[in-house]
Chains A and B, each alone.
Chain A
Amino acid sequence: MTRRRPRPPDLTAFHLLFGLWLMLAWTLSAAGVVDVWMPRSGALQQEFLAAFEGALKEKGHNVGAIHDLGVTPRPTPAPGKVIVALGRDATAQALDAGATAVLSVLVSRRDALALHADDATGKLGAIVLDQPIPRRLAMLRILAPDVASVAVLLGISAPEPAAALNQAIEAAGFTPRLATVEREQEIVPALERVLTPDSALLATPDPGIFNRDTVMSILLTSYRHRRPVIGFTPAYVRAGAVAGVFSTPADIALQATQLLTAQDDLQAFKRGILDPEHFRVAINQRVSRSLGLPEISEDTLRTRLLDWEAGR
């Protein structure tokens, strides 16, 4: 009698089921691995979100939950999720809630540094809004080749320490002229001290110095001395700074996507404080002409700035 060898079990269905499960799991994981927390839903946040969802989708991922912390209670972060937090407050809440991977965007360097200092376990990465000083100084060099010194007003809440600024300015070939300002009334006298005939003023995102109440004094005083001001936002350029380099929420969204998808595991994104990579420039041509600066278009300036970055 011949015993029939037992037939191996038919795994086709199992394989099919396993495949389906994997696909489902992958799809589910892709759909839910990135949550967005925002402090409120404003135009800025919507601009970021629209660009971020679009860019992420192109990479085969989707945004999961979107939490508007202004209208809903703070959620509990799901394990294994990346939380993209918009701004300082949302980032702080995500970290406090125990999230294991937080990418902070639309955040200033000063706030990102403070958050990072408290992040002992390395959960936080941040793409800051502040443009790197060397990039801003390179722009100044292109715009105003005759400028030899760079004036900076430093407040108590300065985004960069004086030593780092001095170093960056000297490294770019300029003479630093720094003045510390503690009260609004000191701004004009401080400007008078640092604005030499060969200088330009580098405005910094320091809320104690460069705010809507002081912008008029700063721009008018600088203009009175016929010295250019390098702004840090399109609004500052529109107000009267000669030029500025900045990143839009869409630029930051693109970088966030590239950062997250640079590796297979989205959670393994690079931590730490990251400069914005994608940027735009704005020139106030009327002010530039009035100060007698060489004429240059925004496109040309950006191209030359990109060339400079590529050559670093």
Chain B
Amino acid sequence: MTLPPPPRTARLAAIAVTALSGSSAIHAETAESLFYDDIPIVLTASRLAQSTYDAPAPVTIIDRELIEASGFTELHDLLRLVPGFQVADWASGSPTVANHGMGDAYGRRIKVLVDGRTVNNSFWGNVHWQDLPIRVDDVERVEVVRGPNGAAHGANAYQGVVNIITRSPRTESGNTVTVRAGHREMKDVGVRLNGGEEELDWRITASHRGAVNFLSFEGEAAETIERNVANLQVLLQPSLADEIRIQAGSTVGFDDTGIPDSPTEPLGKRRIKENYLQLSWLRSFGPESELSVQFYHQDRAERKHWVIPAGAFDLPVRQDIDLQRDDLEVQWTRRLDEAWHVLVGAGVRRDATRSILYFSSDRPEVGVQWQLFSSLTWQATDRLAVNVGGNLEHHYYSGRLFSPRLALTYALAPRQSLRFSTGTAYRAPQAWEARSFTSVSFADQILAITYWAREEPEPERVRFVELGYTGHIDALNLELDARVFRERFDRYIDDRACSFPPTSRNVVCDYDPPPNFVGLLGRTAVNFVNAGAIVAEGAELRADWRQPGWGRIVFTQSFVNITARGNAPQDPDLVHSAPASMSGLQVIKELTSSWRASLGFYYATEMRWLNDGDVVPSGGRTDLKVARLLGPNGRDGELAVTAQSLEGAYPDFHEGDFRHEPSLFATARLSW
């Protein structure tokens, strides 16, 4: 039986309803029910930043403060803040990133994820950093594993893993407009809109940007880019334990690239279109127990057409490529008890690549791979944790691969730990290295072959061991991360050029050309082989000091020594493919409560980028940003001036061909 409320109760109820109706958070909750009602677990293991003290691998976190202070507006530049990471750009393709050497124009040994979505493409294996449908302004933080992590991420998490985590619409509100303009035609206009009610939050961002990235140096390639980017993120919370995330994005733009006055590689627009749709469901069972299911589809199309005059006839070139990926992954984590924590997961992926130019066929190259992965952590004692992880996968080129890892972390003090880890990881060859057949044909006759991946090379393999220390010195307010490492890389996949007889060249192919090969336009082909082994040994240090009211100083230093192993002939530049020493310094100075200056200095000793790259002499670059923060705590935007590379143009990929241009631009970001 329900009694009619007595007058006083009615009055109270009226108070409560009146109070609540003033807000859109209309709830039947009474004040007392707030004290005992259940609420969703928000900061689950997957939402918390990776703890550097407990991690079984060396982790660097680039947080929002560093991102904003750096002045970087392109994603790949953020990796300059990671000790040991080599970042470069060139005029004929996307920027490239490597760690401990072996880098070339198509950096494909670091796995890159955006909110858990692998964005390395299936053909080159690299990341088209400037084409990703997100902007630096969308990034919450970047978590970087500075070494192999195949046990967690499978093949191609070979030299590191970069996990870019975007801002949650739940943590944003209102609207933001950003305008940047600078010399060399730099323009960048973006808008971010946020909204939501109760269990639904959303964000839409859109931007248009363009810049002259490279002027032609010594008659070599130039590059101007333009990009339109839009992305959407919707978060739904249908119940206390469930979250559904829908993300979609698109980039449309072009690179105006090529060599001025070159008949074979003329300046022209390479048009790019990249899309993705990602659906994720997360169910939380507890702070350290959750189930996640994620599906995504992404595709990319590149188009560049030109004509090479070839005497009696013109030779049309269609540098077209279409990529598609569909990926489904399920992951379950659970804390079994105080001592044991387990993670298991499975995933399946389908990659499809279609390119007449690179495969000499209109038929798509399709591969399906699956993986099972697990990680088990045992807190053996109060101080010692043992982590065992492994990834078993079936790769469409390399077959079955197993990447194991063992890590021991020992807590010296509450926020100080020693870490020892060892394991194996692999890099499977990409479609380019395993299937490419780039040829020029006429009337069923092959006039020339450039790339011919005749045999699938074996996957590259790295066996690593490292000893690290991560700690917080309370008295100095200083965070330290240091380690020494040894990584042995075997079965390095390299390209090998040879010529088909009759030829005057020294290197004659030890295999026959296709039967319809006539070689009127050239007799040299490039094949891919496992060619060489190296050992990279070194040390890394990162010191992060903060003092509220003063600012922050982050210093990074890495030393790497690469030596060749084995007797097989290999690229002599391989042992020089990482700088022996790299240093970084970021200083953030709070001038007043609303003025902030930040300085970034990045220095590396001489090194050689492989293949399309070349020697880069010792040198440094200095960036400076001065910002006037708007609104309380500077959260309503900023007015800033940023100068990148105060030293002027500098070589960072190929001393003979390219100069990384300096940049000066102003930023106005307004939020309301």
Chain A interfacial positions (CB closer than 8 Å to B)? 44, 69-74, 87-89, 92-93, 95-97, 106-108, 110-111, 114-115, 118, 129, 146, 148, 155-157, 159, 181-189, 192-198, 205-217, 219-221, 223-224, 226, 232-233, 235-236, 238-240, 246, 284, 286-287, 289-290, 292, 294-295
Q: How far is the CB of B10 from chain A (nearest CB, A)?
A: 9
Of B7, B32, B168, the contact of A87 (CB 8 Å cutoff): B32
Q: How far is the CB of A223 from chain B (nearest CB, A)?
A: 6
Instruction: Report if B48 contacts A (CB, 8 A).
Output: yes
Of A73, A110, A219, the contact of B43 (CB 8 Å cutoff): A219
Which residue on A lies nearest to B4, using beta carbons?
A74
Instruction: Report if B42 contacts A (CB, 8 A).
Output: yes
**Cβ contacts B90-134/A at 8 Å (1 or 0 each):** 000000000000000000000000000000000000000000000
Query: Which residues does chain A contribute within 8 Å of B174, judged by CB atoms?
Result: 189
Q: How far is the CB of B197 from chain A (nearest CB, A)?
A: 7
Determine the distance from Cα of A69 to Cα of B170 in the docked complex, in whole angstroms.
Answer: 40
Of B7, B35, B197, the contact of A246 (CB 8 Å cutoff): B35
Query: Which residues does chain A contribute within 8 Å of B27, judged by CB atoms?
Result: 207, 211-213
Which residue on A lies nearest to B194, using beta carbons?
A188
Which residue on B lies nearest to A196, using beta carbons?
B633
Q: How far is the CB of A301 from chain B (nearest CB, A)?
A: 14
Instruction: Report if B6 contacts A (CB, 8 A).
Output: yes
Query: Which residues does chain A contribute within 8 Å of B512, judged by CB atoms?
Result: none
9 examples of A-B residue contacts, CB within 8 angstroms: A114-B12, A115-B8, A157-B19, A189-B635, A208-B20, A212-B27, A219-B43, A224-B140, A246-B35
Of A156, A188, A207, A292, the contact of B34 (CB 8 Å cutoff): A207
Query: Which residues does chain A contribute within 8 Å of B16, judged by CB atoms?
Result: 157, 207
Instruction: Report if B38 contacts A (CB, 8 A).
Output: yes
**Cβ contacts B505-542/A at 8 Å (1 or 0 each):** 00000000000000000000000000000000000000
- The answer to whether B1 touches A71 (Cβ under 8 A) is yes
Determine the distance from Cα of A211 to Cα of B199 in the docked complex, in whole angstroms.
Answer: 12
- The answer to whether A89 touches B34 (Cβ under 8 A) is no
Determine the distance from Cα of A48 to Cα of B660 in the docked complex, in whole angstroms.
Answer: 71
Determine the distance from Cα of A185 to Cα of B170 in the docked complex, in whole angstroms.
Answer: 10
Total chain B interface residues with beta-carbon distance under 8 A: 71
Residue with the greatest number of chain B CB neighbours at <10 A, chosen from A115, A157, A213: A213
Which residue on B lies nearest to A226, using beta carbons?
B63
Instruction: Report if B337 contacts A (CB, 8 A).
Output: no
Determine the distance from Cα of A144 to Cα of B19 in the docked complex, in whole angstroms.
Answer: 33
Which residue on A lies nearest to B2, using beta carbons?
A70
- The answer to whether B199 touches A205 (Cβ under 8 A) is no
Determine the distance from Cα of A213 to Cα of B240 in the docked complex, in whole angstroms.
Answer: 9
- The answer to whether A188 touches B171 (Cβ under 8 A) is yes
Besides A69-B3, A88-B30, 15 more A-B contacts (Cβ < 8 Å) are A71-B1, A93-B9, A96-B6, A97-B6, A108-B31, A108-B32, A110-B31, A111-B31, A183-B25, A207-B29, A208-B19, A211-B25, A224-B140, A286-B45, A289-B415
Query: Which residues does chain B contribute within 8 Å of A93, judged by CB atoms?
Result: 3, 6, 9
Determine the distance from Cα of A236 to Cα of B35 in the docked complex, in whole angstroms.
Answer: 9
Query: Which residues does chain A contribute within 8 Å of B35, judged by CB atoms?
Result: 106, 108, 129, 205, 232-233, 246
**CB-CB under 8 A for A107 and B32, given A96-B8, A224-B167, A294-B414:** yes
Query: Which residues does chain B contribute within 8 Å of A118, judged by CB atoms?
Result: 8, 11
- The answer to whether B197 touches A184 (Cβ under 8 A) is yes
Query: Which residues does chain A contribute within 8 Å of B199, judged by CB atoms?
Result: 213
Query: Which residues does chain A contribute within 8 Å of B54, judged by CB atoms?
Result: 289
The 9 closest A-B CB pairs, nearest first, are A240-B43, A295-B414, A108-B31, A157-B19, A188-B173, A96-B6, A192-B635, A219-B42, A92-B9
Query: Which residues does chain A contribute within 8 Å of B414, judged by CB atoms?
Result: 294-295
Of B37, B140, B168, the contact of A212 (CB 8 Å cutoff): B37
Q: How far is the CB of B544 from chain A (nearest CB, A)?
A: 11
- The answer to whether A286 touches B43 (Cβ under 8 A) is yes
Determine the distance from Cα of A170 to Cα of B240 in the docked complex, in whole angstroms.
Answer: 36
Query: Which residues does chain A contribute within 8 Å of B464, judged by CB atoms?
Result: none
Q: How far is the CB of B634 from chain A (nearest CB, A)?
A: 9
- The answer to whether A284 touches B287 (Cβ under 8 A) is yes
- The answer to whether A156 touches B287 (Cβ under 8 A) is no
Chain B interfacial positions (CB closer than 8 Å to A)? 1-3, 5-9, 11-12, 15-16, 19-20, 22-25, 27, 29-32, 34-43, 45, 47-49, 51, 53-54, 63-64, 140, 167-168, 170-174, 195-199, 201, 237, 240, 286-288, 414-415, 472, 474, 479, 548, 631-633, 635
Determine the distance from Cα of A68 to Cα of B64 in the docked complex, in whole angstroms.
Answer: 53
Which residue on A lies nearest to B28, using beta carbons?
A207
Query: Which residues does chain A contribute within 8 Å of B635, judged by CB atoms?
Result: 189, 192-193
Q: How far is the CB of B590 from chain A (nearest CB, A)?
A: 9
Of B19, B63, B168, B633, the contact of A220 (CB 8 Å cutoff): B168
Q: How far is the CB of A113 from chain B (nearest CB, A)?
A: 11
Query: Which residues does chain A contribute within 8 Å of B22, judged by CB atoms?
Result: 155-157, 182-183, 208
Query: Which residues does chain A contribute within 8 Å of B43, judged by CB atoms?
Result: 219-220, 223, 239-240, 284, 286-287, 290
Residue with the greatest number of chain A CB neighbours at <10 A, chosen from B22, B34, B41, B286: B34
Q: How far is the CB of B53 from chain A (nearest CB, A)?
A: 7
Determine the distance from Cα of A238 to Cα of B199 in the docked complex, in whole angstroms.
Answer: 20
**CB-CB under 8 A for A88 and B633, given A216-B40, A220-B170, A290-B49:** no
Query: Which residues does chain A contribute within 8 Å of B25, judged by CB atoms?
Result: 183-184, 207-209, 211, 213-214
- The answer to whether A188 touches B1 (Cβ under 8 A) is no
Query: Which residues does chain A contribute within 8 Å of B548, judged by CB atoms?
Result: 146, 148, 197-198
Query: Which residues does chain B contribute within 8 Å of A73, judged by CB atoms?
Result: 1, 3
Query: Which residues does chain A contribute within 8 Å of B37, judged by CB atoms?
Result: 212, 235
- The answer to whether A156 touches B9 (Cβ under 8 A) is no
- The answer to whether A216 touches B38 (Cβ under 8 A) is no
- The answer to whether A182 touches B32 (Cβ under 8 A) is no
- The answer to whether A233 touches B32 (Cβ under 8 A) is no
Q: How far is the CB of B155 from chain A (nearest CB, A)?
A: 30
Query: Which residues does chain B contribute within 8 Å of A183, judged by CB atoms?
Result: 22-25
- The answer to whether A287 touches B48 (Cβ under 8 A) is yes
- The answer to whether A89 touches B9 (Cβ under 8 A) is yes
**CB-CB under 8 A for A217 and B39, given A110-B31, A207-B30:** no
- The answer to whether A185 touches B173 (Cβ under 8 A) is yes
Query: Which residues does chain A contribute within 8 Å of B195, judged by CB atoms?
Result: 185
Query: Which residues does chain B contribute within 8 Å of A69, judged by CB atoms?
Result: 3
Which residue on A lies nearest to B195, using beta carbons?
A185
Q: How far is the CB of B352 from chain A (nearest CB, A)?
A: 36
Query: Which residues does chain A contribute within 8 Å of B3, judged by CB atoms?
Result: 69, 73-74, 93
**CB-CB under 8 A for A210 and B34, given A192-B635, A240-B41, A284-B43:** yes
- The answer to whether B5 touches A89 (Cβ under 8 A) is yes
Query: Which residues does chain A contribute within 8 Å of B41, judged by CB atoms?
Result: 238-240
- The answer to whether A111 touches B12 (Cβ under 8 A) is yes
Which residue on A lies nearest to B41, using beta carbons?
A239
**CB-CB under 8 A for A212 and B31, given A192-B635, A198-B548, A217-B170:** no
Of A70, A193, A212, A287, the contact of B39 (CB 8 Å cutoff): A212
Q: How far is the CB of B140 from chain A (nearest CB, A)?
A: 6
Query: Which residues does chain B contribute within 8 Å of A290, judged by CB atoms?
Result: 43, 48-49, 51
Q: How far is the CB of B493 from chain A (nearest CB, A)?
A: 39
Determine the distance from Cα of A232 to Cα of B472 in the docked complex, in whole angstroms.
Answer: 29
Determine the distance from Cα of A245 to Cα of B469 in the docked complex, in whole angstroms.
Answer: 34
Determine the distance from Cα of A7 to Cα of B609 in the docked complex, in whole angstroms.
Answer: 127
Determine the distance from Cα of A182 to Cα of B237 in the docked complex, in whole angstroms.
Answer: 22
Determine the distance from Cα of A233 to Cα of B33 in the docked complex, in whole angstroms.
Answer: 11
- The answer to whether B23 touches A184 (Cβ under 8 A) is yes
Of A111, A155, A207, A239, the contact of B40 (CB 8 Å cutoff): A239
- The answer to whether A221 touches B171 (Cβ under 8 A) is yes
Q: How far is the CB of B447 from chain A (nearest CB, A)?
A: 58
**CB-CB under 8 A for A211 and B29, given A92-B9, A92-B12, A287-B43:** yes
Determine the distance from Cα of A271 to Cα of B414 in the docked complex, in whole angstroms.
Answer: 46
Query: Which residues does chain A contribute within 8 Å of B49, judged by CB atoms?
Result: 290
- The answer to whether A292 touches B415 (Cβ under 8 A) is yes
Of A108, A110, A189, A213, the contact of B173 (CB 8 Å cutoff): A189
**CB-CB under 8 A for A216 and B12, given A184-B197, A239-B39:** no
